[in-house]
Amino acid sequence: MGKVTTATLQKMKQQGEKIATITAYDASFAKLFDQAGIHAILIGDSLGMVLQGQDDTLPVSIEHMAYHTQCVKRGVENTLIISDMPFMSYATKEQAFDNAAKLMQAGASMVKIEGGLWLADTIAGLVERGIPVCAHLGLTPQSVNVFGGFKVQGRDQDKAQEMIEHAKALEAAGAQLLVLECIPASLGKAISEAINIPTIGIGAGKDTDGQILVMHDALGISCSYMPKFSRNFLIDTGDIKKAIELYIDEVAAGNFPGDEHIFK
């Protein structure tokens, strides 16, 4: 496929080709995933939980994110690199501009921020300054204390319709990608059909334009628990690179996620 860009992902959506993405936090795994043909790597603030052993993502700093972005960048040739903006690093537009610049200078091709309509002006400002943005709706882990825990979002009809409208607004503001986390499969489908930019699901059903998994879950090495929406691909292959290749193939074929991985 060669170098993957935001234009590549947009073309894949238009052609009905599924996008496979995964998290990574260092050069070694990033290189392996790049060689396996993964389309995008997210340096997630999930590193707070899977690397640092935190209870949630809130303690992760912009310095942590920049460091791990630099590490991943050194292992990648073709894969699109997306970096998470951590908790309270984009509370104001000025903060967002400064911190997004740090991640782009560290090697990111795109930054990801969590939240709905209130971020529209921030996204527009980032895009105007040459910084591509991936938005994130549904269960946004940085808001876990507001939600009262890690809970499925958008099951109420009014909340579902509100999320669709937020997705449209984020696209209009200039977001080029949208992560949908822990929502009913029917809502994942509705949002994916309502907007023109690619949607990447994690616990959002099989009708999103792509899927993302935390690498520790995909390889069965998470120290806490296996989320309902995940699958251990390593157990089927016994080889890490082959496990990621299987993940990519299963996403492309529409076999993952299966019915056992989705919320209704």
Nearest to 72, CA basis, from 99, 39, 36, 107 = 107
Residues whose CB is less than 8 angstroms from the CB of residue 243 and which lie 6 or more positions away in sequence, other chains included: 218, 219, 233, 234, 236, 237
User: 3-state DSSP call for residue 112?
Assistant: strand
Does the N-terminal peptide bond of residue 257 adopt cis geometry, omega within 30 degrees of 0? yes
DSSP state of 18: P
DSSP letters of 59-82? T--HHHHHHHHHHHHHH-SSSEEE
Please enumerate, by residue number, every residue annotated as part of a binding site. Answer: 45-46, 84, 112, 114
Please enumerate, by residue number, every residue annotated as part of a binding site for Mg(2+). Answer: 45, 84, 114
171, 181, 245, 250: the catalytic one is 181
Task: Tell me if 9 sits within 8 A of 197, measured CB to CB.
Answer: no
Place of tokens 């995964």: 22
212 bridge partner residues? 21
181 is catalytic: yes
200 bridge partner residues? 179, 210
d(CA 209, CA 20): 9
Please enumerate, by residue number, every residue annotated as part of a binding site for 3-methyl-2-oxobutanoate. Answer: 45-46, 84, 112
CA torsion sign for 128, 204, 207, 194 is negative
Place of tokens 């002006």: 121
CA torsion sign for 204, 207, 212, 214 is positive
User: 3-state DSSP call for residue 84?
Assistant: strand
- Catalytic residue positions? 181
